[in-house]
Structure 1
Amino acid sequence: MTITTGTSRKIFPTALAAALAGLLMVSGCTKQTDENAETSAEGQTEVQSAESADSGELSATDQAHTDRLVISYANMAHAAYKDSLETAKALQKAVETYVDTPTEANLEAAKAAYKTARQPYSQTEVFRFDEGFVTANDKRAIGSVDGWEGQVNAWPLDEALIDYVSDSYEGEYNSQDNIINSDSITVGSIKQDTSSITPELLADMNEIGGSEANVTTGYHAIEFMLWGQDTNGVSAGAGERPVTDYVTEAGQCTSGDTVNEDASICERRGEFLKAAAQLLVDDLTAMEAEWQPESENTLRSDLMARKYDNGLRQIMYQMGSLALGELASERMQVAFVTGSTEDEHECFSDLTHLSYANNARGIQNVFNGSYKTVAGKTIGGYGVKNYLIDSGHKEAADKLTADFKKVEDAFNVIVEKGEKEGIKVDQMIATVGQASKHDISAEEQNKRRGWIEAGITSLQALTDGIENAAKAVGIDNLDADAGSQF
């Protein structure tokens, strides 16, 4: 399973792409608490003191609206990445406990921590598509969110590079040697020393040989190490990696069904899992710092400096690219059309329904100007919806509000089916032919596929509304990423 990053998307210049771009316009969904009011006040000072780009034809009133929008957006980004960091630290602690004491209870605790950590992070993906906007700055630690994201969230990954896989597995990497079982492996023409598994090694090996499938870092590497392969196809069930894969006693250490007389392979699994968790925390620590108020030479300060130039366009572009190009197309439609569980976003854990919904929620956060933290506080205060209303485009704001309600309703169904009824996305995307092999009737399977299709079409309709809203405020030809065409 390999997670693709935004740099490899296909773009086609249609009205749909422009609509996506319009989607980007929707910016924020958070009501401001008294505590957040203080944060926003700091952000206001920050915006006023930042060196801004040429404001072009923006009136003083439009500049004021832009100020509020950009501040809210930046505060939401900071809060969401802070939540992602704190939940990743909790995941790291749970991982360390499990590796040190491999029991069923500790494995379940680590899986629960993973599930919790994914939810705030999935809402940050709306901030991702910034590659074409940020300015060059050698003093900035991170060049762009999009460039940084591949080490944190790349998918799908070729699990054979990391650890054992089933005999029926087919991927780009087909050697019996992998990071866990070998001190040295060869990928293409590259011979890599893997004797010492560290965060640095995993970072160096990510996408080794130029293949996006060779993912060795981030959430999904951790997911694979906790759940293992999901060999159930489109039938019920997630990965079932046994606890004994981490037992470091000779004769009790396993690799699935195989018992290893040498326990070093289980020790290496623990080293890999700990290294991946440490690298994730390190990466999120760096990104959280990029959005702190009144920071210098950061992604936040860069946005503040050019807010009147292309701040609104960036926000709209990002919303559209996630909504249509990434979520509706790459993450949903590809798997839906092909019935491929390898293209399911979280195929090891079967938590894809939550990732889908939180991606959609992240876009809605920016529209409404409101992000709800893990602790229950509301951050933001001013979104694209407010901007549209304040700039005299209430009709466009109302249309988008209705469109977002349809998106929310569609994804609520997917989440409810996944969480309460145990019908996961891999079962929803199955073709009628695939499902019939598991005694699922055509009528039932078409109903299940309809849940996914409703999510896709709701995002496409939302894109149309965003396109119209973008045009209403004078933004044309955003050329947001429209993903793969089917």
Structure 2
Amino acid sequence: MTMTTVTSRKCLPTTLAAALAGLLMVSGCTKQSEENVDTSTQAEIQSTPSADKNEVSATEQAHIDRLVISYADMAHAVYKDSLETAKALQAAVEAYVESPTPASLEAAQAAYKTARQPYSQTEVFRFDEGFVTANEKRAIGSVDGWEGQVNAWPLDEALIDYVSDSYQGEYNSQDNIINSDSITVGSVKQDTSEITPELLADMNEIGGSEANVTTGYHAIEFMLWGQDTNGVGEGAGNRPVTDYMSEAGQCTSGDTVNEDAAVCERRGEYLKAAAQLLVDDLTAMEAQWQPESENTLRSDLMARKDDNALRQIMYQMGSLALGELASERMQVAFVTGSTEDEHECFSDLTHLSYANNARGIQNVFNGSYKTVAGDTIGGYGIKQYLIDNGHTEAADKLAADFKQVEDAFNVIVEKGEKDGIKVDQMIATVGQASKEGISAEEQNKRRGWIEAGITSLQQLTDGIENAAKAVGIDNLDADAGSQF
């Protein structure tokens, strides 16, 4: 896989309306009660100095205060859920490495699937690079800068472990982190004799290549599933349990039986190191959103709540909807029929990532995040903010747009979960699908599910821009992603 990772999307200086006209080739909620507000955070916002308090009414000030508190509370809750499910994934990984059986592999894969649900909803909090204030005392500079070690994709799996003979990527050496004590990437020679979380972090994007991803969810996904060599056909990756067998003569690397078990032991070390690093990274991010914290992303947001916090929130919604989800994650794969550009190409869980990305945007709109435990966090979102400031028409349009998005992605999830038709099968061109015995009529229907998702996101982004204009933000200039 060689396309640019999610960590380096370029922000194009264009309005969302212009992006809608030229970007995509395809055609394209309920009111929260007052009691839902977490009163324990009221003192936090009230004690924050405001440069513009004299210019707005007390009622208007209360609206923006509630909005940023709700946003920050949801961020804290979803990162906390991400951390807790990552810890459960780590425990399942360690149990699998200790005793590799079909049952323990299935448990680790299930834990990965569970962990991805809340994390995929965090991505609306990205795209903050141009908003946060520089602060050397803050442990994390921005969500967007931090995210690359956690969620970068696609990755060049040949750098990590064995791949099929037909694999084509930037890294084409037979030596990789798993099978060698040292490797050379470009002009960089790297000692890989001891696989640790620190080594993986140091090697991420080694040699300046964004495809050289060694950390995060997708590295773990690859280590659990292996390559998906089915193309646009049915089936995910099918890494054998014997890849982790620590007994000589039982250790494999795919179809190859190894004379000793050293490579399998290193594979286990890699998987455990990647899981530990993921937990460490999420621990750091969860701390950034704790109430009453100082020198954190949360305290930074509170300090500038009357400056650019509203623009940031709406910018992030539009950037994830159009530039990231509709364009980079969906349209690129849809137009090219490339399974290498599928977001979770090893596990075939892309349908859930898509839906949870969209749900994350909707959480901010509604001001409501449902935790893994079933609690509702938030209490006030963009929808009610618009209504309270006299823009009911814009709020109603956005609510209708979100309903279309929800309906479109519910179809994609239902087909993936219940019918076993995964995204790699949906994005196949008619020509590709015909080689798998799928008729043109059936394949056009499948592609229509993806197209409907993209189109709904286009319309949603139009609604976000319309709402931004209603509150005085004329040029939202959200990230527009790749253009075709």
TM-score interval for Structure 1 and Structure 2 normalised by the shorter chain: over 0.9
CA contact (8 A) 2:229 2:237 kept: yes
Superposition deviation, residue 41 in structure 1: 1.2
Specify the SS of the correspondent of 1:65. helix
Runs of 5+ in structure 1 lacking a partner?
Answer: 21-27
Summarize the Cα distance change of 1:13–1:41 in structure 2 as closer, same or farther, 3 Å threshold. Answer: same
CA contact (8 A) 1:52 1:304 kept: no
Specify the SS of the correspondent of 2:308. helix
Instruction: Return the alpha-carbon distance in structure 1 between the equivalents of residues 445 and 54 of structure 2.
Output: 51
Counterpart of 2:405 in structure 1 is 407
Greater relative CO (CA pairs within 8 A, separation 6+): 1
1:8 aligns with 2:6: no
Summarize the Cα distance change of 1:31–1:372 in structure 2 as closer, same or farther, 3 Å threshold. Answer: farther
CA contact (8 A) 1:18 1:479 kept: no
Superposition deviation, residue 54 in structure 1: 4.3
Instruction: Return the alpha-carbon distance in structure 2 between the equivalents of residues 60 and 172 of structure 1.
Output: 57
Superposition deviation, residue 467 in structure 1: 1.0
List aligned pairs for 1:315-330, cutoff 5 A.
Answer: 315-330=313-328
Summarize the Cα distance change of 1:31–1:79 in structure 2 as closer, same or farther, 3 Å threshold. Answer: farther
Superposition deviation, residue 4 in structure 1: 1.2
List aligned pairs for 1:300-311, cutoff 5 A.
Answer: 300-311=298-309
Counterpart of 1:151 in structure 2 is 149
CA contact (8 A) 1:29 1:369 kept: no
Counterpart of 1:91 in structure 2 is 89
Superposition deviation, residue 476 in structure 1: 1.2
- Paired residue for 1:183, among 178, 181, 184? 181
Specify the SS of the correspondent of 2:257. strand
List aligned pairs for 1:205-224, cutoff 5 A.
Answer: 205-224=203-222
Specify the SS of the correspondent of 1:185. strand
Superposition deviation, residue 19 in structure 1: 7.8
1:171 aligns with 2:169: yes
Counterpart of 1:382 in structure 2 is 380
Superposition deviation, residue 53 in structure 1: 4.2
**For each residue in 1:139-177, what CA deviation from the matched residue of structure 2 results, as whole angstroms up to 9, or x when unmatched?**
000000000000000000000000000000000000000
Summarize the Cα distance change of 1:147–1:45 in structure 2 as closer, same or farther, 3 Å threshold. Answer: same
CA contact (8 A) 1:107 1:226 kept: yes
Of 474-483 and 105-114, deviating more is 474-483
Summarize the Cα distance change of 1:53–1:171 in structure 2 as closer, same or farther, 3 Å threshold. Answer: farther
Instruction: Return the alpha-carbon distance in structure 2 between the equivalents of residues 237 and 51 of structure 1.
Output: 56
Superposition deviation, residue 17 in structure 1: 6.0
CA contact (8 A) 2:332 2:341 kept: yes
Counterpart of 1:200 in structure 2 is 198
Instruction: Return the alpha-carbon distance in structure 2 between the equivalents of residues 80 and 19 of structure 1.
Output: 30
Residue identity matched to 1:156: P
1:358 aligns with 2:345: no
Residue identity matched to 2:239: R
Summarize the Cα distance change of 1:103–1:15 in structure 2 as closer, same or farther, 3 Å threshold. Answer: closer
Summarize the Cα distance change of 1:196–1:33 in structure 2 as closer, same or farther, 3 Å threshold. Answer: farther
Instruction: Return the alpha-carbon distance in structure 2 between the equivalents of residues 364 and 6 of structure 1.
Output: 22
Specify the SS of the correspondent of 2:166. coil
CA contact (8 A) 2:408 2:453 kept: yes
Superposition deviation, residue 30 in structure 1: 9.2
TM-score, length basis structure 1:
0.95
Superposition deviation, residue 15 in structure 1: 4.0
> How large is the Cα RMSD of the aligned pairs?
1.7
Superposition deviation, residue 64 in structure 1: 1.1
TM-score, length basis structure 2:
0.96
Summarize the Cα distance change of 1:257–1:70 in structure 2 as closer, same or farther, 3 Å threshold. Answer: same
Counterpart of 2:137 in structure 1 is 139
CA contact (8 A) 2:427 2:450 kept: yes
Instruction: Return the alpha-carbon distance in structure 1 between the equivalents of residues 180 and 374 of structure 2.
Output: 45
**For each residue in 1:305-345, what CA deviation from the matched residue of structure 2 results, as whole angstroms up to 9, or x when unmatched?**
00000010000000000000000000000000000000000
**For each residue in 1:111-159, what CA deviation from the matched residue of structure 2 results, as whole angstroms up to 9, or x when unmatched?**
0000000000000000011000000001000000000000000000000
Instruction: Return the alpha-carbon distance in structure 1 between the equivalents of residues 126 and 16 of structure 2.
Output: 22
Instruction: Return the alpha-carbon distance in structure 2 between the equivalents of residues 168 and 57 of structure 1.
Output: 64
Residue identity matched to 2:9: S
Instruction: Return the alpha-carbon distance in structure 2 between the equivalents of residues 104 and 300 of structure 1.
Output: 43
- Paired residue for 1:280, among 251, 256, 278? 278
Residue identity matched to 1:95: V
Counterpart of 1:24 in structure 2 is none
Instruction: Return the alpha-carbon distance in structure 2 between the equivalents of residues 256 and 454 of structure 1.
Output: 38
CA contact (8 A) 2:11 2:478 kept: no
**For each residue in 1:231-289, what CA deviation from the matched residue of structure 2 results, as whole angstroms up to 9, or x when unmatched?**
00000000000000000111100000000002000000000000000000000000000
Residue identity matched to 2:197: P
Summarize the Cα distance change of 1:118–1:47 in structure 2 as closer, same or farther, 3 Å threshold. Answer: same
Summarize the Cα distance change of 1:30–1:484 in structure 2 as closer, same or farther, 3 Å threshold. Answer: farther
**For each residue in 1:356-400, what CA deviation from the matched residue of structure 2 results, as whole angstroms up to 9, or x when unmatched?**
000000000000000000000000000000000000000110111
- Paired residue for 1:267, among 255, 259, 265? 265
Summarize the Cα distance change of 1:147–1:381 in structure 2 as closer, same or farther, 3 Å threshold. Answer: same
Instruction: Return the alpha-carbon distance in structure 1 between the equivalents of residues 5 and 30 of structure 2.
Output: 27
Instruction: Return the alpha-carbon distance in structure 1 between the equivalents of residues 450 and 71 of structure 2.
Output: 29
Of 333-342 and 462-471, deviating more is 462-471
Counterpart of 2:105 in structure 1 is 107
Counterpart of 1:252 in structure 2 is 250
Residue identity matched to 2:432: Q
Specify the SS of the correspondent of 2:452. helix
User: How many residues are paired up?
Assistant: 476
Counterpart of 2:24 in structure 1 is none
Instruction: Return the alpha-carbon distance in structure 2 between the equivalents of residues 98 and 70 of structure 1.
Output: 42
CA contact (8 A) 2:415 2:421 kept: yes
**For each residue in 1:451-482, what CA deviation from the matched residue of structure 2 results, as whole angstroms up to 9, or x when unmatched?**
00000000000111111111111111111001
CA contact (8 A) 1:19 1:466 kept: no
1:340 aligns with 2:338: yes
Summarize the Cα distance change of 1:151–1:208 in structure 2 as closer, same or farther, 3 Å threshold. Answer: same
CA contact (8 A) 2:120 2:360 kept: yes
CA contact (8 A) 2:289 2:297 kept: yes
Instruction: Return the alpha-carbon distance in structure 2 between the equivalents of residues 465 and 10 of structure 1.
Output: 19
Residue identity matched to 1:483: G
Instruction: Return the alpha-carbon distance in structure 2 between the equivalents of residues 165 and 335 of structure 1.
Output: 21
Residue identity matched to 2:256: T
Superposition deviation, residue 42 in structure 1: 1.9
1:298 aligns with 2:304: no
Q: Percent identity?
A: 85
Instruction: Return the alpha-carbon distance in structure 1 between the equivalents of residues 293 and 103 of structure 2.
Output: 42
CA contact (8 A) 1:53 1:305 kept: no
Residue identity matched to 2:230: N
